[in-house]
Amino acid sequence: MPTPLTEIEASVSYLRKTFDSNKTKSIEWRRDQLTRLFRFVTDKQDLILEAVAKDNQKSYGEIGSEMAVVNNEIAMALHNLDKWTQPKKCKPSLATIADRVEVRHEPLGVVLIIGAWNFNVQLVLAPLAAALAAGNCAIIKPSEVAPHTEAFLANWLPKILDNSAIRVVTGGVPETTRLLELKFDLIFYTGGGSIGKIIMSAAAKQLTPVILELGGKSPVYVHSDADIEVAAQRIIWAKTVNCGQICLAPDYVMANKSVISKLIPAMKKAIVQMCSENPQSASYYARIINSNHTQRLKSVLDRQLLLSHSKLEAGGTVDVQNRFIAPTLVSGVKTVDPLMEDEIFGPLLGLVEVADVDEAISIIKSKERPLSLYIFAKSQKIIDKITDNTLSGSVIVNDLLMNMIIEDMPFGGVGSSGMGAYHGHSGFLAFSHQRGYLHRGTDFVSEKIHSLLYAPVSSTPR
Ligand code: NAD
């Protein structure tokens, strides 16, 4: 049930009153809310598994890793709350030597957290942990595209958390549009770039800061000295988790002709090992979120396979009605082909032949800055060459996705893959204002120092 449009403004006003009462600034309140949230995700684990699995048939193992990110975020915030909230002493200058100078971490106020369907629980609760640790009030807007998790969050969070400071708004475009007409102190949005632009222009009207966690085409380059078997296994693993519906999923793979000829059989083997000969009957292989997205992926694949230079190497089976797409490998993909247009966000993987590492770099640079960049190589010179000549949200060498689980590594994109970062301390900082504080005395010494600034300030003639 979407939240009635008429209730949305009242909820935001109510939260603002709570924030203005200073209730959420107390460390005890923050600790209590974080503890409740932690107990909620551990005690209600079975219900979370059930809701997520209903949305896209992910295996319980996959959902477990999704929830581990949330557990870690909350646990880390609880563990570091006292440390993070302490004012940070600044080095005084000569003119402020007798003063108290520090940076205080203040909550921003009432924040809006908008999530995306592919990890509908994680993508609102992990930022919520950071928002609470920083002492904010928050409106959470999970994605309506994953209705079971949306309903689960709307049903349970008000029973667990302080309803005067945290509210869930459900629904899609009309409800989010209504929210975006209102004043927030930060909008934290996860989702695609085209909606990201709508969020950012609505925020600009109120000068509201935004953090945008977007996606894009994360490339993989496999060099000739790489361990091909290992690269194939890890790429296929990262491409088939959640059926490729991960912002960090490898989008396309570049390698020279000889490497590609070795990657193809190794990847085919990995697909069978990880998803069985018949992925449609493998209980641990997820489904596409809905038939629209399945149809979208099918038409990209169909258009790609119409091109005579591309070859279907594995998979290709699509069952729109059952939202199933087999792990699919296509070789001979050119940079202007359908598979190279938009972010794939599904289990289709194009292999792009490049002459050398320089061509791979120029392809990466010709596209928008990716959320992640994956390099499989032994030579540090090659790794450095790629990293020194490109920019991406993150770089991972000889693996994929793993930055997601490093609690204290800032997680976020750059350019069109996003702005701002969170996770661990970065999350706390993202939801805080770093407020400069200088306290000068009015005693004799302080005044003597300050009087140096009084006119005539300088004897230098004009
Ligand atoms: P989505 O359809 O769930 O939309 C995201 C949010 O935007 C939802 O809450 C939705 O209600 C809202 N929304 C939709 N249309 C809107 C409109 N017209 N105006 C205002 N709000 C609107 O998710 P999606 O965009 O399909 O998500 C997939 C994308 O998200 C991919 O590009 C993926 O890479 C990216 N993503 C990024 C991260 C990250 O952490 N960087 C994580 C997950 C997904």
Angle at 374 between CA 370 and CA 380, to 5 degrees: 125
Does residue 107 have a cis peptide bond before it, meaning omega lies within 30 degrees of 0? no
**pLDDT over threshold 60, residue 92:** yes
Evaluate: CB of 418 within 6 angstroms of ligand 1. yes
What is the C-alpha R_g of the chain? 25
Locate the DSSP E strands across 174-307.
Answer: 186-190, 210-213, 218-222, 250-255
pLDDT over 60 at 207, yes or no: yes
| CA triple 417-427-45, angle to 5 deg | 95
- Tokens standing for residue 42: 């551990």
CA 191–ligand 1 middle distance (angstroms): 3
Q: At residue 271, what is the residue type?
A: I
Contacts of residue 110, Cβ cutoff 8 Å, sequence gap at least 6:
12, 15, 16, 19, 136, 137, 138, 139, 184, 185
Judged against a pLDDT cut of 80, whether residue 67 lies above it is answered with: yes
**214 CA from centroid of ligand 1 (Å):** 8
Tokens found for residue 426: 């970065």
Residue type, 331: S
Q: Single out the catalytic residue among 175, 213, 313, 343.
A: 213
Neighbours of 82 (CB within 10 A): 10
Token couple for 234: 């890890």
Given this model, what pLDDT does residue 461 score?
58
Provide the token pair at 2. Answer: 């979407």
For ligand 1, say whether the CB of 66 is within 6 Å of any of its atoms: no
214 lines ligand 1 (CB under 6 A): yes
pTM of the model: 0.95
Separation of CA 194 and ligand 1 centre (Å): 9
Judge if the beta carbon of residue 215 lies within 6 A of ligand 1: yes
Please give the sequence-ordered ranges of beta strands (E in DSSP) within 95-153, or none if there are none. 100-107, 110-114, 137-141
Angstrom distances, CA of residue 355 to CA of 255, 259, 372? 8, 11, 22
Spell out the residues 6+ positions from residue 234 whose beta carbon is closer than 8 angstroms to its own: 376, 398, 399, 400
**The predicted structure's pLDDT at residue 460:** 59
Q: For atom 13 of ligand 1, which residue has the closest CA?
A: 173
SS3 for 401?
coil
- Choose the residue to mutate in 153, 184, 190 for probing ligand 1, maximizing ligand atoms within 8 Å of C-beta: 190
455: pLDDT confidence band, cut at 50, 70 and 90? confident
Q: What rounded mean pLDDT belongs to the chain?
A: 95
- Percentage of residues of the chain with pLDDT beyond 70: 99
- pLDDT tens column, 27-48: 999 999 999 999 999 999 999 9
Using the predicted structure, report yes or no on whether residue 334 has a pLDDT greater than 90.
Answer: yes
Q: Hey, which residues does 328 pair with through a beta bridge?
A: 348
- The pLDDT confidence band at residue 459, using thresholds 50, 70 and 90, is low
Cα distance between residue 44 and residue 38, in whole Å: 10
Please, which pLDDT band fits residue 462 given cuts at 50, 70 and 90? low
Least confident of 182-191, 215-224, 363-372, 451-460: 451-460
Q: Which residue type occupies 336?
A: V
Q: Is 7 a catalytic residue?
A: no
Structural domains in the chain, sorted by start = 5-215+425-434 (3.40.605.10), 219-410 (3.40.309.10)
- CA dihedral 52→343→321→273, nearest 10 degrees, is -70
Task: Look at phi and psi of residue 191 and say left if phi exceeds 0, alpha if psi is from -120 to 50, else beta.
Answer: left
For residue 201, what are the contacts with CB-CB under 8 A and spacing of at least 6?
none
State the pLDDT at residue 123: 97
What is the largest distance, in Å, between two alpha-carbon atoms of the chain? 87
Q: Looking at residue 96, what is its pLDDT?
A: 85
Provide the pLDDT confidence category of residue 404 given band limits of 50, 70 and 90.
Answer: confident
Q: Is the CB of 393 under 6 A from ligand 1?
A: no
Rounded to whole angstroms, the Cα distance separating 420 from 412 reads: 6
User: pLDDT over 90 for what percent of the chain?
Assistant: 88
How far is it, in rounded angstroms, from Cα 50 to Cα 73?
A: 22
Q: Which two tokens stand for residue 186?
A: 């930060």
| pLDDT at residue number 240 | 96
User: How confident is residue 458, by pLDDT bands cut at 50, 70 and 90?
Assistant: low
DSSP-based three-state secondary structure for 114: strand
pLDDT at 66: 85
Mean pLDDT of 180-198: 97
Tens digit of pLDDT for each residue in 314-333? 999 999 999 999 999 999 99
**What is the distance of C-alpha 435 from the center of its chain?**
26
Mean pLDDT within 90-108: 91
Structure tokens at 142: 């999970």
